[in-house]
Structure 1
Amino acid sequence: MCGRYVIARSVDDLLFEVGAVPGAPLRGTDTSAVRENWNVAPTAEVPVVLERIAGDDDETPGAVLRELHVARWGLVPGWAKDPSIGVRAFNARSETVVDKPMFRSAVRHRRCAVPANGYYEWRKRLGPDGAPVKATKGAPAKQPYYVHPQHDGATVWFAGLYEWWQEPSGSWLLSCSILTTDAPSPEAEEPVLQELGALHDRLPIALNRSTLEDWLDPAADSKDEAVGLVERVRAEADMVAATWQLHAVGSEVGNVRNNTPDLVAPVQALF
């Protein structure tokens, strides 16, 4: 499961990397600044890239527009009575996303890519029977790790979903979720996949450049096409993850109020 991540890239860098333009709320703003968030948690505002078919109010009706928007992390479907439902929908299980009411419309019609520098995951301390143990004064129950690309400055593009929800005031809330899948086997051939398999039982699904193009395509909107896309990104998730690396980080990341580059600094793992 991905419940915390890092995004410390400027809007301009993200726009250039995927050939996008600012969405309407970002137009006319300074996109050159780096909006750093070293401890992104659910309900935070995060950048997402999506494609939509231009409407009559756009300069080129019918054209496919690739735009960067800012969304709330935690999906709020259009039928929700209250946006608080999104607090528990920051991740979407890829195994059930096509049929689950919370996500089934978005996976057909509103797919996006969520950029990150990397993400945090917590490894549980296990007892002799293989079950998680409780923390003691000298032995914490969990050790946080930072998972990220091998090359500094590289971007992870998570497979995401987005939704628009109309508030009682009439304004619109854009929200998003990140797809997850089973973690690699601890017995995988690639050492980093072994590490990821031992780290947690879930893995956020990252896109390569080819799958990113197809995942964003708004014309692929039938259920069969959605099923095919989900199967494809699931099948290729390990190939992308095999290019990552990970290291232990300090416990400070557990407090969302802590938000500095020091959070990703390597430390000696406690177990």
Structure 2
Amino acid sequence: MCGRYVMARAVGDLVAELEAEADANLELRASWNVAPTSDVPIVLERLVEGAVHRQVHVAKWGLVPSWAKDPAVGVRAFNARSETVAEKPTFRAALKARRCAVPVEGYYEWKKSPDGKSKQPYFVHRKDGKLITFAGLYEWWKDPSKEDDADDRWLLSCTILTTVSPDAGAEGVLGELAGLHDRLPVPLEKDSLAAWLEPEGGDPRQLLDLVLAGAHDVAATWQLDPVGADVGNVRNNSPELTVPVG
């Protein structure tokens, strides 16, 4: 799964690496301990006067479907299982038409000790320090309690797709990932990112199959570093959280 991650890139660096564009007023809060319900950057593509534009927006992490009566439902929808995302009412409409990518510098996962009494946090990231982009979905939710012209009437939210972790007997990084958790956030390659974001993309199930097919290959290039227990408290937020220990 993915319940905590790092996103501390400046706007300029983020849009450059993602080959995207952003509103001049876009503000991003650097965070080394992003948790569900936080405001996070997402990448999506939109058709503007017949041309495709790749854009960075800020969304609340935890998807709120358009039909929801209360945005609190997003608290439980920060991840979406790839096996059921096409059928679940919360996600199926977004899978068809509102796909995005969620850029991260790495994410945290906790490994249980053999006796089950403690957990060791790990920071999972690319060896070269570049961004990982996870397959995601986004939705717009209209707040019925606010006036039509209110600036904050519309809520943009998102979720991150997950898949099964590699087999426990896998070698190298994949075997290490298997030991962390039975779920893995779905990473995107450059080509699968382009296909996933395409606003007039093909059959959503085929797109899902495409990104899942390369997920473990991408993950095999990552690095896992044990980090300190301070990351367990979301109030702790500094670069030191990602420093390896031991």
The answer to whether the superposition gives a TM-score over 0.5 is yes
Q: Who is 2:41 aligned against?
A: 47
The one-letter code sitting in structure 2 at the alignment partner of 1:210 is D
Which runs of 4 or more aligned residues in structure 1 lie more than 6 Å from their structure 2 counterparts after TM superposition? none
Q: Aligned partners of 1:211 and 1:157: how far apart in 2?
A: 10
Q: Aligned partners of 1:99 and 1:84: how far apart in 2?
A: 21
Q: Who is 2:223 aligned against?
A: 245
Residues 251 and 66 of structure 1, relative CA distance in 2, 3 Å threshold: same
Residues 180 and 30 of structure 1, relative CA distance in 2, 3 Å threshold: closer
Q: Aligned partners of 1:227 and 1:195: how far apart in 2?
A: 29
The one-letter code sitting in structure 2 at the alignment partner of 1:116 is V
Q: Aligned partners of 2:107 and 2:165: how far apart in 1?
A: 14
CA drift at 1:143:
1.1
CA drift at 1:18:
2.4
Q: Aligned partners of 1:198 and 1:28: how far apart in 2?
A: 43
Q: Aligned partners of 2:165 and 2:186: how far apart in 1?
A: 10
CA drift at 1:148:
0.3
Matches within 5 A, 1:181-196: 181-189=163-171, 191-196=172-177
The one-letter code sitting in structure 2 at the alignment partner of 1:9 is R
Q: Does 1:28 align with 2:4?
A: no
Q: Aligned partners of 1:214 and 1:30: how far apart in 2?
A: 25
Q: Who is 2:4 aligned against?
A: 4
Q: Deviations over 1:41-76 (max 9, x none)?
A: 00000000101122xxxxxx2222211100000000
The one-letter code sitting in structure 1 at the alignment partner of 2:178 is G
The one-letter code sitting in structure 2 at the alignment partner of 1:248 is P
Unaligned runs of 5+ in 2: none
Over the residues paired in the alignment, what is the CA RMSD in angstroms? 1.3
Counterpart pick for 2:154 among 172, 186, 192: 172
Counterpart pick for 1:233 among 211, 218, 241: 211
Unaligned runs of 5+ in 1: 55-60, 128-132, 136-140
CA drift at 1:30:
6.7
Q: Aligned partners of 2:13 and 2:226: how far apart in 1?
A: 28
Q: Aligned partners of 2:103 and 2:133: how far apart in 1?
A: 5
TM-score (structure 2 length as normaliser): 0.94
Identity of aligned residues (%): 57
The one-letter code sitting in structure 1 at the alignment partner of 2:227 is V
Counterpart pick for 1:217 among 198, 216, 229: 198
Q: Who is 2:84 aligned against?
A: 96
Q: Aligned partners of 2:97 and 2:2: how far apart in 1?
A: 23
The one-letter code sitting in structure 2 at the alignment partner of 1:45 is D
Q: Deviations over 1:68-100 (max 9, x none)?
A: 100000000000000000001000000111111
Which of the pair has more CA radius of gyration? Answer: 1
Q: Does 1:157 align with 2:145?
A: no
Q: Aligned partners of 2:211 and 2:94: how far apart in 1?
A: 16
Q: Aligned partners of 1:41 and 1:69: how far apart in 2?
A: 18
Q: Aligned partners of 1:179 and 1:41: how far apart in 2?
A: 16
CA drift at 1:250:
0.9
Q: Deviations over 1:178-228 (max 9, x none)?
A: 000000112113x0001001111010001010000000001026xxx1101
Q: Who is 1:144 aligned against?
A: 121
The one-letter code sitting in structure 1 at the alignment partner of 2:187 is A
* Number of aligned positions between the proteins: 240
TM-score (structure 1 length as normaliser): 0.86
Counterpart pick for 2:58 among 65, 70, 92: 70
The one-letter code sitting in structure 2 at the alignment partner of 1:86 is G
Q: Aligned partners of 1:148 and 1:21: how far apart in 2?
A: 24
Structure 1 counterpart SS, 2:124 = strand
Q: Who is 1:257 aligned against?
A: 235
Q: Does 1:199 align with 2:187?
A: no
Q: Who is 2:13 aligned against?
A: 13
The one-letter code sitting in structure 2 at the alignment partner of 1:64 is V
Structure 2 counterpart SS, 1:3 = coil
